Structure 1
């Protein structure tokens, strides 16, 4: 039996996932969480009694009202626990920064919420064995990155550019990512070169147009 924890801040999404997965004889839902932190706590409490976590990437405060945590950071925390379950990301977001962040955090799969039920069921079964499961569009984005590595932004560069898009200064970006301002500036030079941009604003615009942010 594959034991699944649902982690999503929307109750209606959890209901939909439960409806699909409960129809399968080899899958059972053992818990739900409406914040990323609650998902980590549930795994800590359940020990080895969870096989797969279905993890959203962006959470609201939920009923607990605690400080927000992303699904990627929660995934990283879960994967550091003893005998952790595998994490399958199920989200609406398919930008490079989201995909790479989840994969580098340790997620074994990445599905979009518009995936057909059969694809979700197959992905859960694959995740339970540690196999990779990707939505077609996500796999295509990763393949394009591999085909054009010279122009692809690294995960760190994507983090820097996302903070630029959020309106952060170089000093604030450095403080957030534990980098010196000189290192932040170096990343920005590389970002502009790869994107053919001449300013922070044009770099952000180019990245959004390319689906990176």
Structure 2
């Protein structure tokens, strides 16, 4: 798996390159110090870009937009110290598939990168807690079984794990997820998880 690291702090970039480079299935193809360099290095077709947010010349949000436009198959993992709601939302709107904090242990970070490439959108639990904006849609538009699937997605379960819990095939889970996303007018699993936690928080006294 080819990784591109993007961070304006040389120490952070070098540390991630060293630590992640020790993983047998990871190949760090470069370290960019700003978003513009990241776009240029994406010509080497990395599988995943670990993207910082605030950088000189070009920040991570704008860089993510450009990369997703020019190289839609490349997956973006925002890796940052910021967990304010504005940055999280901007990153997801720009097309990022994952959002992790730099404080995450390296083993967990590596596991989340692998999960990302296997089709699982990644959102750090601490990041989810910062998203508090009310939503207009209601889960009442779903059936009981569909609501159960949403809850399991929000807990981070894969389609296979959801199927095992609900005694459904992978194909059935995929089809039901497509129906749920269509009903709620959401794009992907990350948005679905955010939606669920928003509703749960809004229901708290």
TM range (shorter): 0.5 to 0.7
Indicate which of 47, 67, 72 corresponds to 2:61: 72
> What SS does the corresponding residue of 1:141 show, helix, strand or coil?
coil
In the superposition, the TM-score normalised over structure 2's length comes to 0.62
Give the Cα–Cα distance (whole angstroms) in 2 for the partners of residues 129 and 11 of structure 1: 29
- Structure 1 match to 2:86: 97
Q: Does 1:18 align with 2:3?
A: no
Contact 2:17 2:31 in 1 (8 A): no
> What SS does the corresponding residue of 2:130 show, helix, strand or coil?
helix
- Structure 2 match to 1:149: 135
Give the Cα–Cα distance (whole angstroms) in 1 for the partners of residues 129 and 115 of structure 2: 19
Runs (4+) of structure 1 exceeding 3 A deviation are none
* Structure 1 residue 82: Cα displacement: 4.0
Contact 1:108 1:130 in 2 (8 A): no
- Structure 2 match to 1:114: 103
Give the Cα–Cα distance (whole angstroms) in 2 for the partners of residues 72 and 78 of structure 1: 10
Q: Kindly tell me: are residues 9 and 41 of structure 1, through their superposed partners in 2, closer, same or farther at Cα, counting changes over 3 Å? A: same
* Structure 1 residue 83: Cα displacement: 4.5
Give the Cα–Cα distance (whole angstroms) in 2 for the partners of residues 37 and 118 of structure 1: 29
Deviations 1:41-86 (A, max 9, x none): 111x22xx310000000003xxxxxxx2220111011001145310
Q: Kindly tell me: are residues 36 and 117 of structure 1, through their superposed partners in 2, closer, same or farther at Cα, counting changes over 3 Å? A: same
Q: Kindly tell me: are residues 82 and 57 of structure 1, through their superposed partners in 2, closer, same or farther at Cα, counting changes over 3 Å? A: closer
Count of paired positions: 136
Q: Does 1:58 align with 2:44?
A: no
In the superposition, the TM-score normalised over structure 1's length comes to 0.60
- Show structure 1 runs of 5+ residues with no match: 61-67, 151-213
Give the Cα–Cα distance (whole angstroms) in 2 for the partners of residues 71 and 130 of structure 1: 22
Give the Cα–Cα distance (whole angstroms) in 1 for the partners of residues 77 and 119 of structure 2: 10
Contact 1:86 1:130 in 2 (8 A): no
